């Protein structure tokens, strides 16, 4: 069930430089949301910005959902200016959630930048299912690092200002080679180059891996055909990120 | 009771608001969110003979009060449509207009002929903004004689409503409308998207994979209104006005300049229920202005200015 | 030092940002607010032989991210221009391009001939979006052979830079650009305004006194970019890119698709200093990207897509 | 001298239903402004609304200027949402001020609706010059009536909810015929139908009368030719409201 609701901002916090957490009150969305799903948000009544903007559901807390986002362009700038009590128009929950059940013991979470967004929600669920969790987070610099509500976190920064100096996938490779984990499954989210590296690593190492993609969307519900990702095989060349994703088994898709 | 319905070639649409091709999928994507029985009709995504993958990403770019798309007519093809989508569409309580796209005259005819054998289709809308493969990819819709030929040949194949959807990317759209009317089409849809582009200045590349794409949304509403107005001076067949409609007020502008009905496009991406809201708003406006029939708005704009002033002294 | 200048027919403009005709008056209106010596050039309001009153109000309507105008080429006429405005323009430290509008071929020639006798004019921009009175008001600019004739005849009359300003309201703007290039013009300005309209639904009247008007501003930027790109594939002469430029980033988009320089229009109404800001921003961008010459941006967009895809499968 | 400045909102008050007074801090504009002039205001950094909006300078108080406006469309809605400390971009002062000096003893001020906007400023100046003042204000209804900072006010409302029931020009005519004033000059501002009636009355009665016009503007500084008003005579058919007005002797112009 997809809901379209005008919801109230009930919490707002700047959690790192230019990165905000926003809580929205909506029992309906909160109750039906699953980790890996997203909502498509409209925050202006005018034609600027015209389209909704997609954001992962970062956490569910009672009857509210939390978004975690950074200010990129006009849309997120406007979203960051919202105050408690303001209203935004939410469409969701949307998309296919992470496959969090089944044959794995350790969840290896790999996030680059705001790719952490979906993982607090996933972490909560995994903990309830008593999975082991190892989390790897990459950021440009310590100032833009967010690790809140994640478990057992190891950090990489591009400039070495915190943790490992290098990419998060490099950090991951080093770690897994020195401390192999039991029956792992990887969950990745972040910029495309990182996801490509992660996918290559996962396929080489033979580890199951789900990726959550971010890309340009207009509708978020399968109406516009605006969000293709190349499929690795099958009759159809593209899948739609909004309705067939945003989570994909890394073997199903080709990133460019 | 206010009369909200209108007819094309004997097919009665319950109100004057349809959803535009390519902006409402095949009608089943948002059935949880939208009560489609409150729409005048649904125009399906354009269908071609074979399924089309569409263009590589990036396909969507937002622009000031508008968006560019370069979907490349990704569609499931007419056979899959008949198998997978038509059964659902047969039981919706609104009119179903199947939109057809093709890269040859032959393909248009083949698709329509196959659809003619099916139950549950109320009419056809022909997307002529397609590359004519025989002519090196030249757009059918910018070639008046091709547009006329497509209309004539398809007219010969069906007794159902035949609506030709015109492109705005021509000097005199009224010439095309006249040709289509003479060819026996029942109505014209005005307008398809306007050619546009956007550049990523950091990557020094076009934002869309195909360089240019189609501009839609509120930004083009003034252009669409002028095109509908121009067509309304030229032909007698009904016009379905399209372009940037977000509200009932926008729709009323289109009716006033001469559209018989409207289609809501891009707005569906923001609020899939826009069409229903617009239809409801139209009814309310008619109520407030004590109109017996929404038709009283059609072409009701007063203007004592010569049409010849249209393109002058800008 | 970054090279910012460029030349047309030997006339050197100090940078690549001009202000567009009709959006900066005759250059003296805002001299307190704007240091015009920081502009590449000023294109004057279009001048006709006799003064023109222009259209009755309402002449201006705001639309989503754009505006419609129907000024009707209100201008003081070329004689008053020479007496009242040229003395000021002679002493400004930027290039002065006089824009000419007319309702007959003869009038274009008469105005240019008279201007040729004056000191202090650096070049001409010809507004062909004007009604040809002999042809019942048909727009010169949508008639390719008329556009060519105007260019040829004016070329014969002057050795100064001759720039033809093209209208976007045609199917293939590149045909017009090619005709103009063959006729010997030195450059093209792309684009003038896009035809549009808006309706007052309460009065049931067009908002503009002339029904339709010209759409400008950010809403048309995607359209303008596509037109400049199309022209850039077709001709070798410089292109002055125009349409919705508000920032240096916008200007860079135009350079990347092939414009040699740009003109700022509507943005002047919001901030008369936009042109100066854009020029400054261009310089800063070149600096940051360690370019020796802003020219390195011109046509520097990578794209491996066939032009023929332009109008296809929208 | 015209200034273009980013100025701070230093005061904000809802003075009647949907009618707001906004104070903007700008010593430069405040010092050079004259009654009847206006400023052209930009209050969004986006392209919505795209153009500036013109407002009369309603009052000068030290180094700040006050605007008085009602919410009509998207622009004024946004302006009404400004808070103290917010900034707006102001271009002004613009236009030709009222001719407040010379051969008259009594200033008869006639305002319809938000046409009162320029008159607090004018009233202050006239008082300093020891002119007598009679003010007539019309409004649709008592709830939309604003008479603050005006002198000797008589009121007309369309619905009779306060003062005289009828138009402000009808009220004026009755008053002047029963209480003729010495050497009057009239100053009018309001909707066009009201200004037409006032102009007709003034010319019939042979009373000098200046009108302040409101109309659509793009630039406000003479660049766009977007703001014509028909001239009563002379070679040129139109005058530009922004640079030749907004104040005009009623005999100079033809209202339609
Ligand atoms: C399923 C999904 C989930 C998402 N979840 C989150 C989330 O939880 N938190 C979060 O911060 N963001 C998330 N995003 C990305 C988010 O939607 C964009 O950051 C947002 O749309 C930017 O909007 P804007 O108006 O600020 O920027 P715009 O003005 O639209 O864009 C500014 C610039 O950034 C570029 N841009 C826009 N989106 C992206 C992108 N996704 N990647 C790279 N460049 C881009 C544009 O091309 C443009 O050049 C998600 C995206 C998707 C598809
Ligand atoms: C010199 C001058 C001084 C002004 N001073 C004041 C002032 O002190 N206080 C004040 O409240 N207003 C004043 N106005 C009018 C004010 O500029 C408009 O109310 C404002 O521009 C409306 O902007 P908006 O974006 O809210 O409405 P828009 O969205 O632009 O317009 C909404 C609707 O109202 C119509 N409309 C817009 N402006 C007017 C108008 N002036 N008259 C009638 N209909 C209109 C539009 O056509 C549209 O249909 C002045 C105008 C001028 C030219
Ligand atoms: C993403 C997208 C896809 C579209 N696909 C089609 C299509 O397949 N066939 C067609 O005839 N028109 C298509 N259109 C054009 C719309 O039906 C409509 O004519 C146009 O968008 C203008 O209306 P709007 O401004 O309300 O969107 C598409 C438009 C968009 C934005
Ligand atoms: C109010 C107004 C008046 C204009 N007058 C002229 C004119 O006299 N001659 C001309 O060639 N172009 C004229 N133009 C067109 C502009 O020069 C420019 O080509 C167009 O507005 C697109 O650029 P923009 O989007 O930056 O405004 C005018 C535009 C506007 C908005
Ligand atoms: S975003 Fe519209 S189909 Fe995916
Ligand atoms: S508003 Fe631009 S000239 Fe008056």
Residues of D in contact with A81 (CB under 8 A): none
CB B139 within 8 A of CB B107: no
Q: Each residue of C231-283: pLDDT tens digit? A: 999 999 999 999 999 999 999 999 999 999 999 999 999 999 999 999 999 99
Report CB contact under 8 Å: B314, C193.
yes
Instruction: Pick the closest to residue B172 from B234, B115, B214, B120 (CA basis).
Output: B234
Mean pLDDT of C118-143: 90
Please report the pLDDT score of residue C126 as a whole number.
98
Q: At what angle do helices B144-157 and B173-182 cross, to 10 degrees?
A: 30
E strand residue ranges, A78-207: 87-94, 106-112, 132-139, 153-157, 164-165, 184-189
Please report the pLDDT score of residue B32 as a whole number.
87
Please tell me the number of the ligand nearest to residue C71's CA: 4
Collect all residues from A whose CB is shorter than 8 A from any CB in B.
1-2, 4, 42, 47-52, 89, 215-219, 221-230, 236-238, 243
Please report the pLDDT score of residue B306 as a whole number.
55
Please report the pLDDT score of residue C32 as a whole number.
87
Question: CA of A46: which chain C residue's CA is closest?
Answer: C64
- Grade residue B58 by pLDDT with cuts at 50, 70 and 90: very high
Q: Each residue of A78-117: pLDDT tens digit? A: 999 999 999 999 999 999 999 866 689 999 999 999 999 9
The residues, ordered by sequence, that sit 6+ positions from C49 with a Cβ below 8 Å of its Cβ are C77, C78, C102, C107, C110, C111
Q: How far is the C-alpha of D164 from the C-alpha of C64, rounded, in Å?
A: 41
**Domain with residues D213-256, CATH architecture:** Ribbon (2.10)
Does residue B80 sit at the A interface (CB-CB below 8 Å)?
A: no
Look at the block and give the residue holding tokens 């929205």. A24
Instruction: Pick the closest to residue D156 from D147, D166, D148, D146 (CA basis).
Output: D166
B306 compared with C24, residue with greater pLDDT: C24
Pick the atom of ligand 5 nearest to A227's CA.
4
Please report the pLDDT score of residue D181 as a whole number.
85
Give the pair of three-digit tokens for residue C89.
């323009």
> C190 pLDDT exceeds 50?
yes
- What mean pLDDT is reported for chain D? 93
Instruction: Pick the closest to residue D218 from C62, C196, C57, C71 (CA basis).
Output: C62
| Cβ neighbours, 10 Å, residue B155 | 16
> C308 pLDDT exceeds 50?
no
Please report the pLDDT score of residue A139 as a whole number.
94
Does residue B65 sit at the D interface (CB-CB below 8 Å)?
A: yes
The residues, ordered by sequence, that sit 6+ positions from C117 with a Cβ below 8 Å of its Cβ are none
> D85 pLDDT exceeds 90?
yes
* Residue of D37, D50, D217, D238 to test ligand 6 pocket, by largest number of atoms within 8 Å of CB: D217
User: Is the distance from the beta carbon of residue A222 to the nearest atom of ligand 5 less than 6 Å?
Assistant: yes
Report CB contact under 8 Å: D225, C59.
yes
Long-range contacts of B84-92 (CB under 8 A, 24+ apart): B85/B26, B85/B27, B85/B28, B85/B44, B86/B118, B86/B120, B86/B121, B88/B26, B88/B27, B88/B28, B89/B26, B89/B27, B89/B28, B89/B42, B89/B44, B89/B120, B90/B119, B90/B120, B92/B27, B92/B36, B92/B37, B92/B42
What are the residue ranges spanned by the domains of chain B? 6-313
Q: In chain A, which residues have pLDDT < 70?
A: 100-102
Q: At what angle do helices C173-182 and C144-157 cross, to 10 degrees?
A: 30
Please tell me the number of the ligand nearest to residue A220's CA: 5
**Domain with residues A99-211, CATH architecture:** 3-Layer(aba) Sandwich (3.40)
The residues, ordered by sequence, that sit 6+ positions from C76 with a Cβ below 8 Å of its Cβ are C26, C47, C51, C84, C85
Instruction: Pick the closest to residue C40 from C240, C289, C229 (CA basis).
Output: C240
Q: How far is the C-alpha of B132 from the C-alpha of B121, rounded, in Å?
A: 26
Please report the pLDDT score of residue C138 as a whole number.
82
CA C173 to centroid of ligand 2, rounded, Å: 38
Burial class (CB in 10 A: 0-12, 13-18, 19+), C62: buried
Does residue B10 sit at the D interface (CB-CB below 8 Å)?
A: no
Q: How far is the C-alpha of B190 from the C-alpha of B216, rounded, in Å?
A: 12
Q: Each residue of C75-92: pLDDT tens digit? A: 999 999 999 999 999 999
CATH classification code of B6-313: 3.20.20.70
- What mean pLDDT is reported for chain B? 94
> D6 pLDDT exceeds 60?
yes
Please report the pLDDT score of residue D42 as a whole number.
95
What are the residue ranges spanned by the domains of chain D? 3-94, 99-211, 213-256
CB D156 within 8 A of CB D170: yes
Least confident of B50-59, C27-36, C127-136, D60-69: C127-136
Please report the pLDDT score of residue B193 as a whole number.
97
Report CB contact under 8 Å: C301, B136.
no
B197 compared with B132, residue with greater pLDDT: B197
Please report the pLDDT score of residue D180 as a whole number.
81
> B288 pLDDT exceeds 90?
yes
Question: CA of C273: which chain D residue's CA is closest?
Answer: D4
Q: Which chain C residues in 240-279 lie under 8 Å from chain B, judged by CB atoms?
A: 244, 249, 252-253, 256-257
| Cβ neighbours, 10 Å, residue C223 | 27
Look at the block and give the residue holding tokens 């926008």. B250
Look at the block and give the residue holding tokens 């109520």. B287
Give the pair of three-digit tokens for residue D199.
């102009």
CATH classification code of A3-94: 2.40.30.10
Instruction: Pick the closest to residue B221 from C203, C210, A49, C219 (CA basis).
Output: C219
User: Is the distance from the beta carbon of residue C70 to the nearest atom of ligand 4 less than 6 Å?
Assistant: no
B306 compared with C164, residue with greater pLDDT: C164
Does residue A46 sit at the D interface (CB-CB below 8 Å)?
A: yes
- Per the DSSP assignment, residues forming a β-bridge with D157 are D139, D165
Mean pLDDT of B196-209: 96
Could you write out the DSSP letters of every residue in C253-293?
HHHHHT-SEEEE-THHHH-TTHHHHHHHHHHHHHHHTT-SB
Facing residue for C169 by CB, picked from B214, B217, B311: B311
Least confident of B191-205, C79-93, D26-40, D173-187: D173-187
CA A39 to chain centre: 11
CA C192 to centroid of ligand 2, rounded, Å: 28
Please report the pLDDT score of residue A64 as a whole number.
97
Which of D2, D49, D223, D229 to probe the C interface (max C CBs under 10 A)? D223
Give the pair of three-digit tokens for residue D256.
């339609």
- Grade residue B134 by pLDDT with cuts at 50, 70 and 90: confident
Q: Give, using CA atoms, the residue closest to atom 27 of ligand 2.
A: D73
> C1 pLDDT exceeds 90?
no
Please report the pLDDT score of residue D182 as a whole number.
86
Q: At what angle do helices C144-157 and C105-116 cross, to 10 degrees?
A: 20
Q: How far is the C-alpha of A237 from the C-alpha of B49, rounded, in Å?
A: 17
- What mean pLDDT is reported for chain C? 94
| Cβ neighbours, 10 Å, residue B300 | 15
Q: Each residue of A199-226: pLDDT tens digit? A: 999 999 999 999 999 888 999 999 999 9
Which DSSP helix (H) or strand (E) runs through B119? none
Could you write out the DSSP letters of every residue in D115-164?
GGTTHHHHHHHHHHTT-EEEEEEEESSGGG---TT-SSEEEEETTSSSSE
């Amino acid at each position: 069930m997809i809901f379209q609701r005008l919801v109230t901002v009930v919490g707002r916090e700047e959690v790192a430089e230019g990165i905000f957490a926003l809580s929205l009150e909506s029992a309906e969305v909160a109750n039906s949301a699953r980790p890996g799903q997203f909502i498509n948000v409209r925050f202006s009544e005018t034609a600027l910005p015209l389209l909704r903007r997609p954001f992962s559901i970062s956490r569910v807390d009672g009857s509210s959902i939390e978004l975690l986002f950074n200010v990129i362009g006009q849309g997120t700038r406007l979203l960051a200016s919202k105050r408690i009590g303001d209203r935004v128009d939410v469409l969701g929950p949307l998309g296919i959630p992470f496959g969090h059940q089944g044959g794995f013991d350790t969840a290896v979470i790999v996030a680059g930048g705001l790719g952490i967004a979906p993982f607090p929600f996933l972490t909560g669920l995994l903990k309830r299912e008593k999975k082991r969790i190892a989390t790897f987070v990459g950021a440009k610099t310590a100032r833009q690092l967010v690790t809140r509500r994640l478990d057992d976190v190891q950090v990489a920064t591009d400039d070495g200002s915190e943790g490992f100096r290098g990419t998060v996938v490099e950090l991951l490779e080093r770690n897994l080679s020195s401390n192999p984990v039991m029956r792992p499954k990887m969950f990745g989210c972040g910029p495309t180059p990182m996801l490509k590296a992660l996918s290559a690593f996962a396929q080489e190492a033979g580890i199951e891996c789900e990726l959550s993609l971010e890309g340009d969307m207009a509708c978020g519900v399968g109406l516009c055909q605006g969000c293709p990702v190349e499929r690795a095989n099958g009759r159809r060349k593209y899948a739609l990120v909004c309705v067939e994703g945003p989570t994909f088994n890394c073997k199903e898709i080709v990133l460019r | 009771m206010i009369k909200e319905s209108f007819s094309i070639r004997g097919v009665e649409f319950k109100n004057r608001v349809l959803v535009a091709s390519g902006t409402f999928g095949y009608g089943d994507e948002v059935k949880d969110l939208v009560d489609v029985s409150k729409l005048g009709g649904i125009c399906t995504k354009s269908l071609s003979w074979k399924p089309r993958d569409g263009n590589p990403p990036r396909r969507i770019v937002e622009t000031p009060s508008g968006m560019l798309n370069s979907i490349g007519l990704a569609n499931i093809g007419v056979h899959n449509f008949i198998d997978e989508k038509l059964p659902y569409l047969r039981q919706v309580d609104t009119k179903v207009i199947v939109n057809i796209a093709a890269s040859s005259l032959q393909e248009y005819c083949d698709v329509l002929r196959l659809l003619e054998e099916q139950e549950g289709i109320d009419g056809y809308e022909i997307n002529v903004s397609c590359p004519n493969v025989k002519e090196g990819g030249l757009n059918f819709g910018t070639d008046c004689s091709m547009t006329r030929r497509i209309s004539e040949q398809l007219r010969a194949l069906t007794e159902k409503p035949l609506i030709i959807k015109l492109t705005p990317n021509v000097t005199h759209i009224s010439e095309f409308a006249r040709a289509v009317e003479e060819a026996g089409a029942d109505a014209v849809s005005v307008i398809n998207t306007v050619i546009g582009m956007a550049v990523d200045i950091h990557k020094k590349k076009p934002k869309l994979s195909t360089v240019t794409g189609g501009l839609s949304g509120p930004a083009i509403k003034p252009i669409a209104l002028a095109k509908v107005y121009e067509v309304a001076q030229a032909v007698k067949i009904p016009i379905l006005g399209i372009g940037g409609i977000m509200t009932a007020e926008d729709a009323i502008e289109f009716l006033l300049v001469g559209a018989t009905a409207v289609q809501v496009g891009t707005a569906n991406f923001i609020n899939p229920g826009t069409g229903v809201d617009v239809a409801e708003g139209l009814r309310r406006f008619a109520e407030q202005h004590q109109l017996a029939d929404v038709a009283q708005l059609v072409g009701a704009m007063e203007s004592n200015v010569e049409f010849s002033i249209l393109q002058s002294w800008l």
